[in-house]
Amino acid sequence: MKRLCLSGVLLTMGLFAEAHAVGRLADVSVIDRDSGCALATHYYRGEYWVAGSPGARYAIEIRNRLGERVLAVTSVDGINVVSGATAGWGQTGYVFGAGEDYQITGWRKSDSDIAAFAFTPSPNSYAERTGRPANVGIIGVALFRERLAAVVPEISRLGEVASASPAPAAPTARAADSFAKSSGNIAYPAYQTPAPKLGTAHGQRESSWVTHTEFERLQTEPNEIVRIRYDSMENLVAMGIVPPHGRTPTGPNAFPGVASRAYVPDPPS
C-alpha cells in the first residue's frame, strides 16, 4: 500500500515550492525515510533546494522516465555515493531499467550493505570528516543514455548476479573538475544563519543488495545533470529561499474558512 503524503504549495514573487521531482530523463526526489514523503522543492535563482532536519534519514529516489536503460552517476556533497571518490562524470553509478525506480539510501559499503544517509551538522558530515568540505550541501545525479553495445562495467541494483565488478577507471582531472564546476555552487550574499549548515552523515549500516552489469554510455558527457541543494529550514529562511513562517501569498485563497462543516449549507434565501 502506498503512503499518502501531504505537502504544502507556496507561490510568491520569484519563489515556487512544491513536493515534486526534478529532471527530464529521470525524476529525482529527496525522500524522508521516516514518513516516506518527498521533501518539498524550493526553486530559487535557478536552483532547487530542499529543507532537511538534523538526524533525519533520507533517500535519493530516481525514476527512469525513458523506455530504455539509463546510468545515474550520483553524488552527495561532491562525493560519489558508490565509490566514495571525489565525484566525476566518468565514475561508477546505478543502472536503471526502462521505467524503473529505486531509492538510493546511503553510501555503498559493499554489494550487500550501505551506511545510511542522514542530515547532520556539516562538521559531522562524511565530506568534512574525510577532508572534503567544499561541496557540502548538494546532491547531484549525472544521467547517461546507453549505446546498444554494453562494454563498461557499472553497478546495477538488479538482483541477478552477485559477482564482483572490476574497479572503474579513475576519472580524468578534467572530468572531475567539470563535475565539480557544474554542481551549482552559486555565490550568495553572506547571511548570519541561525543553525549550522547541514551535510550528510555516514550513518548506520543497513542491508542493501546490488549486482553488477555492463553499460556503455552514449556520450562522454552526461545527457542531463540534476542538482538539488539542501540545508535546514532555518537557514533557507535566513537566505531568503523560503519566506518566514506566517507570510502568505497574495490573491484568492482556496481555503479561507476555519470552521468545519459536515455538508454544504443552503445559500441565503
Q: What is the pLDDT of residues 114-127, one digit of tens each?
A: 999 999 999 999 99
Mean pLDDT, range 253-261, rounded to an integer: 57
3-state SS class at 72: strand
Q: Give yes or no for residue 212 having a pLDDT over 50.
A: yes
> Confidence band (pLDDT; 50, 70, 90) for 156?
low
Cα 147 to Cα 183: distance, rounded to the nearest angstrom:
26
Q: Give the residue with greater pLDDT, 189 vs 59.
A: 59
Cα 241 to Cα 249: distance, rounded to the nearest angstrom:
15
pLDDT of residue 69: 95
Please identify which residue in the block is written with the cell numbers 529516489: 61
Q: Which three cell numbers stand for residue 62?
A: 530516481
> In percent, how much of the chain has pLDDT > 70?
67
Q: Give yes or no for residue 254 having a pLDDT over 60.
A: yes
Cα 180 to Cα 174: distance, rounded to the nearest angstrom:
10
pLDDT of residue 168: 37
| Structural contact between residues 236 and 158, judged by C-beta atoms closer than 8 angstroms | no
Q: Give yes or no for residue 260 having a pLDDT over 80.
A: no
CA distances from 167 to 82, 111, 152, 155 (A): 11, 13, 11, 10
pLDDT of residue 169: 36
pLDDT digits (tens, 9 = 90+) for 3-44: 444 433 333 333 444 546 788 999 999 999 999 999 999 999
pLDDT of residue 154: 61
pLDDT of residue 253: 59
Q: Average the pLDDT over each of 139-148, 228-237, 248-257 and give the range with the smallest value.
A: 248-257
Residue 256 CB-density burial (10 A; 0-12 exposed, 13-18 middle, 19+ buried) = exposed
Q: Which residues of 91-110 are buried (b: 16+ CB within 10 A; e: fewer)?
A: bbbbbbbeebebbbbbbbee
Distance separating the N- and C-terminal Cα atoms of the chain: 47
User: 0.85 cut: is pTM over it?
Assistant: no
3-state SS class at 27: strand
Q: State the average pLDDT for the chain.
A: 78
pLDDT of residue 91: 94
Nearest partner of 117 among 198, 176, 194, 180, judged by Cα: 198
Nearest-10 Cα torsion for 111, 112, 118, 123:
-60
Mean pLDDT, range 73-85, rounded to an integer: 96
| Structural contact between residues 162 and 209, judged by C-beta atoms closer than 8 angstroms | yes
pLDDT of residue 7: 37
Q: Which three cell numbers stand for residue 76?
A: 552527495
pLDDT of residue 173: 36
| Structural contact between residues 168 and 153, judged by C-beta atoms closer than 8 angstroms | yes
> In percent, how much of the chain has pLDDT > 90?
61
Cα 177 to Cα 170: distance, rounded to the nearest angstrom:
13
Strand partners, 183: none
pLDDT digits (tens, 9 = 90+) for 125-148: 999 999 999 999 999 999 999 997
pLDDT digits (tens, 9 = 90+) for 184-201: 444 444 556 677 899 999
Q: Give the residue with greater pLDDT, 190 vs 99.
A: 99
Q: Which three cell numbers stand for residue 175?
A: 572530468
Cα 241 to Cα 248: distance, rounded to the nearest angstrom:
15
